[in-house]
Amino acid sequence: MPYKIAVLPGDGIGPEVVAEALKVLKAVGAPSEFEHALVGGSAYDATGNPLPPATLELCRQADAVLLGAVGGPKWDRLEPVELRPEVGALLPLRAELNLYANVRPAHTFHALVNASPLKGKNGLIDLVVMRELTGGIYFGKPRERREGGTQAVDTCVYSRFEIERIAHRGFEIARQRRSKMVSVDKANVLETSRLWRETVTALGTDYPDVELSHMLVDNCAMQLVRDPRQFDVILTENMFGDILSDEAAVITGSLGLLPSASLSDARDGRVFGLYEPIHGSAPDIAGQGKANPLAAILSAAMMMRFSFGDAQSADRIERAVERALNDGLRTADIAGHGPTISTTQMGDAVAARLS
């Protein structure tokens, strides 16, 4: 029975990179049905809603979701803020689909070590940021402006249940890797972080085979630059994970290389997830064939692995990406002063190297 994949190309370069991910999925022979829908700024322009009810329902009925990117300056000043793509589409998608576990691998390809801002071996990293995605300050209430707009309030809230379920995912992924996990918080200042640390520490007794440590977020940000190779799995809350995963991504050479998976609980024995590159919509290069599709393609590989249990297809896609890079093929973001190929040419190159 074919997998039903909801395809949400979104805004800016989103449609371009998603097209290449679909090209590779079809080339790898995944038995899939693809149904497209509007989301983000393009959905607002067409319907007045950045997340139309039909799009949300399609996602609910799908086995997995492939998302491009949303947002851009065109929609940054919409009022109320719930009409802006990031607030009115991404956050509701995560909440409504219960996508609480964000998996962001950061892996340096050997062919691109010179593209890393870190020199030598320090630029060769292989880590995963496990980010809690549906709690914390991005979802806390109240969220308001007070005293004539001169004061603003955001609220950070976490429950023990929310922390336990993301920590379980972190420990499980650590077991599949090098069995090391550092939990990142701000327990010296924040009450939510103190609950986070207590909860993760208690849960760690159920995973004696995983080496658990704790680190304050400011120290972790520094250590990612000083010695990123020390990290295997980084477990952290929503806002800290947002920041740290982007920092880790830059070490690999480009945001255009990093995929992500946002996972919910199992449905009928399958893990439901939304898969997307971590980069934004990059409207300044949209429609010019300059976008790097590799993050979207690698997100499709994560879909095959996590939602469909097809590690063989995932491995084939990841090897094809590495072969294309080893052969010297580069989009503009990773080319330096060398020759470049277009978005579609990179997608063609990966599809041609599947084996």
Confirm whether residue 280 is marked as ligand binding: yes
DSSP bridge pairs for 129: 104, 234
Marked catalytic residue, from 242, 310, 333, 348: 242
Confirm whether residue 218 is marked as ligand binding: yes
* Cα-based angle 248, 97, 21 (whole degrees, multiple of 5): 55
What region, left, alpha or beta, does residue 149 occupy, with left being phi > 0 and alpha being psi -120 to 50 degrees?
A: left
* 138 among known catalytic residues: yes
User: 265-301 in b/e burial notation, b at 16+ Cβ within 10 A?
Assistant: eeeeeebbbbbbbbbbbbbebbeebbbbbbbbbbbbb
Confirm whether residue 43 is marked as ligand binding: no
Marked catalytic residue, from 3, 138, 158, 207: 138
Q: How far does Cα 114 stand from its chain's mean position?
A: 24
**CA-to-CA distance for 254 and 87, rounded, in angstroms?**
25
Confirm whether residue 131 is marked as ligand binding: yes
* 242 among known catalytic residues: yes
Confirm whether residue 289 is marked as ligand binding: yes
Confirm whether residue 290 is marked as ligand binding: yes
Confirm whether residue 281 is marked as ligand binding: yes
**CA-to-CA distance for 302 and 65, rounded, in angstroms?**
11
* 218 among known catalytic residues: yes
Confirm whether residue 104 is marked as ligand binding: yes
Q: Which residues are within 8 A (CB) of 218 and not within 5 positions of it... i.e. 6 or more apart?
A: 186
Q: Could you give phi then psi for residue 45, rounded to 5 degrees? A: -60, -35
DSSP bridge pairs for 107: 126
Confirm whether residue 288 is marked as ligand binding: yes
Confirm whether residue 246 is marked as ligand binding: yes
Marked catalytic residue, from 45, 76, 206, 218: 218
- Strand 64-69 with 180-185, pairing: unpaired
Confirm whether residue 283 is marked as ligand binding: yes
Confirm whether residue 287 is marked as ligand binding: yes
Give the active site residues.
Answer: 138, 186, 218, 242, 246
Q: Which residues are annotated as a binding site for NAD(+)?
A: 280-292
Q: Which residues are annotated as a binding site for substrate?
A: 94, 104, 131, 218
Q: Which residues are annotated as a binding site for Mg(2+)?
A: 218, 242, 246
Q: Which residues are annotated as a binding site?
A: 94, 104, 131, 218, 242, 246, 280-292
